[in-house]
Amino acid sequence: MKYVLETCVDSVQSAIEAQKGGATRLELCSNLVIGGTSPSQALYEQVKEHTNLEVRALLRPRFGDFCYDNYEFQVLRSEVKMFQKLGADGIVIGILNPDGTLNMEQMKYLKEDAKDMKVTLHRAFDVCKDPYETMEKAIELGIDTILTSGQKSSAWDGRELIADLIEKSKGRIEILSGAGINPEVIKKLIPYTKGTSYHMSGKIVVDSKMQFRREGVPMGIPGFSEFEIWQTSSENIKLAAQVLEELV
């Protein structure tokens, strides 16, 4: 494959739209609005029933940092084993020590539990202390992919580090650029970083089907409307795929 266009999705409809648009791989999660948490078995099974793309499951027990207590770690181990039994193509994980280094002890357990599944180190990488040391540790663990924005709020802002990681990795690990990715950004990043792997949601905001609307009763994070649905747009994915077809 010349390029990777991974789409992060948290619903069956988004997964269908991603495939329709030309995505090559899915990162499946729940709750994208808070950066993603682990998806359910039921969601995974429905996505596999309605698409035929490679699926990597994001495993994250909660919103917030990537330093987990033993209860959270045991949840992660159970989820890795569950998705391995379900036949998932891969998992997306990341655990840090309090000092910002990669938690090699816990990551080794998860990698062993994953068996033959592909493993992506998620954006815990973007808040680690030393990205170069962490990349080498990830390679040492046998991790396949690092998802990164170059330790900035967007991949474009982090383009210098992304380019350096791609050069220094020398093909030993996939560097997957993510955060703020759209067709125009891909068009600029390809010549700058020489990267061929991109991660995006391609989302649009879809209006709720609810006609009766009880206002002023928030169910979650204040400031987020209960009547807006984030959903992947096949057109956004298609435009990104066209850029990659032209430039890679």
Which residue in 142, 79, 152, 146 sits closest to 116, CA to CA?
142
131 — pLDDT class (breaks 50, 70, 90): very high
Q: What digits encode the pLDDT tens for the residues 187-237?
A: 999 999 999 999 999 999 999 999 998 888 777 777 778 888 899 999 999
pTM: predicted TM-score of the whole model, two decimal places: 0.94
Task: Give percent of the chain with pLDDT exceeding 70.
Answer: 100
pLDDT at 182 over 90: yes
- What's the confidence (pLDDT) of residue 222? 73
Average pLDDT, the chain: 96
pLDDT of residue 227: 85
8 φ/ψ sector (left φ>0, alpha ψ -120 to 50, else beta): beta
Percentages helix, strand, coil for the chain (3-state, rounded to 5) are 40, 20, 40
Helix (H, G, I), strand (E, B) or coil at 87: coil
Give the tens place of pLDDT for each residue, 68-91.
999 999 999 999 999 999 999 999
User: What mean pLDDT do residues 173-191 have?
Assistant: 98
